[in-house]
């Protein structure tokens, strides 16, 4: 009896997980010249972006604030006699510092300072000469090293290309079967309420017209390719041409619906086929 109850509980949990995976994730995407806005919801709950958490005040900050309040409350005003003593001490220190500044330097001290300055200038000249010699040697070394590094990079790049070619030869026979299986699942990805507004322009009228034609062809060809792979519903698609002005403005909005179960199925099919 207990075993049957456990089986029913497990089956109920599996059914609940399957139902959860069958509900679609909703992603609202808005892209324009100013910023990119992405909002993801699942079961009506906001998944992304997460609300910013307010940092909690630490115990140390609370204690420091309490200590400051106590110190402010414990401070008492000084008496007139204590204020007079403090002023006298300040005047004495000012007079001592003034006397120290007035005392002239001796001839020997001045002579020592001039000699030290001359010695420092000679040392600086010697250092500059040695630095120039070392720089010339370093440039020669760097040239030789850069040549060797460039050759190593080229050899490494060729080796990577050869490795990719070998892997592609192994994978190539399985790609058609995976595409047939995945294509049906990709159709479950739905682009709804798709709105595209573009504004293109050049200062020259001829260049503006040619640019308008290229952008128009690129946009509608891209939408046709997306329609072959996914389920796309276009609400609005406008490409506007502006003359006597170098501009390129865009405002793209769409809402994507995708089931987590479809994502898991796509990954599972590709792994099985490989």
pLDDT value for 74: 46
Percent of the chain with pLDDT over 70: 61
Geometric angle at alpha carbon 224, from 222 and 230, rounded to 5°? 100
- Alpha-carbon gap, residue 229 to 223, rounded angstroms: 10
- Mean pLDDT score across all residues of the chain: 77
- Alpha-carbon gap, residue 233 to 219, rounded angstroms: 15
pTM over 0.75: no
pLDDT value for 133: 64
Q: Within 10 Å of residue 191's Cβ, how many Cβ atoms?
A: 19
pLDDT surpassing 80 at residue 91: no
pLDDT surpassing 90 at residue 231: yes
Per DSSP bridges, beta strands 36-42 and 25-32 are antiparallel
Beta bridge partners of 40: 27, 48
- Alpha-carbon gap, residue 42 to 264, rounded angstroms: 16
- Alpha-carbon gap, residue 69 to 195, rounded angstroms: 59
């Amino acid at each position: 009896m207990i075993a049957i109850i456990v089986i029913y509980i497990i089956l109920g949990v599996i059914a609940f997980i399957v139902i959860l995976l069958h509900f679609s994730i909703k992603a609202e995407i808005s892209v324009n010249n100013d910023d990119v806005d992405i909002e993801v919801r699942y079961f009506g709950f906001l998944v992304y972006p997460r609300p910013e958490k307010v940092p909690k005040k630490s115990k140390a900050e609370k204690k420091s604030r309490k200590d400051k309040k106590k110190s402010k409350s414990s401070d008492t005003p000084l008496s007139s006699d204590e204020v007079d003593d403090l002023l006298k001490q300040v005047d004495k220190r000012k007079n001592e510092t003034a006397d120290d500044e007035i005392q002239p330097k001796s001839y020997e001290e001045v002579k020592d300072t001039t000699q030290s300055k001359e010695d420092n200038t000679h040392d600086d000249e010697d250092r500059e000469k040695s630095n120039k010699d070392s720089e010339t040697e370093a440039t020669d070394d760097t040239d030789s090293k850069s040549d060797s590094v460039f050759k190593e990079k080229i050899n490494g790049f060729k080796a990577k290309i050869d490795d990719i070619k070998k892997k592609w030869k192994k994978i190539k026979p399985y790609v058609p079967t995976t595409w047939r299986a995945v294509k049906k699942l990709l159709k479950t990805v739905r682009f709804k309420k798709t709105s595209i507004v573009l504004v293109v322009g050049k200062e020259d009228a001829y260049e503006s017209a040619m640019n308008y034609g290229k952008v128009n062809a690129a946009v509608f060809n891209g939408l046709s390719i997306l329609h072959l792979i996914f389920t796309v519903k276009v609400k609005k698609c406008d490409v506007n041409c502006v003359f006597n002005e170098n501009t390129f403005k865009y405002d793209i909005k769409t809402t994507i619906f995708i089931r987590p179960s479809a994502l898991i199925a796509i990954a599972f099919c590709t792994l099985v086929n490989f």
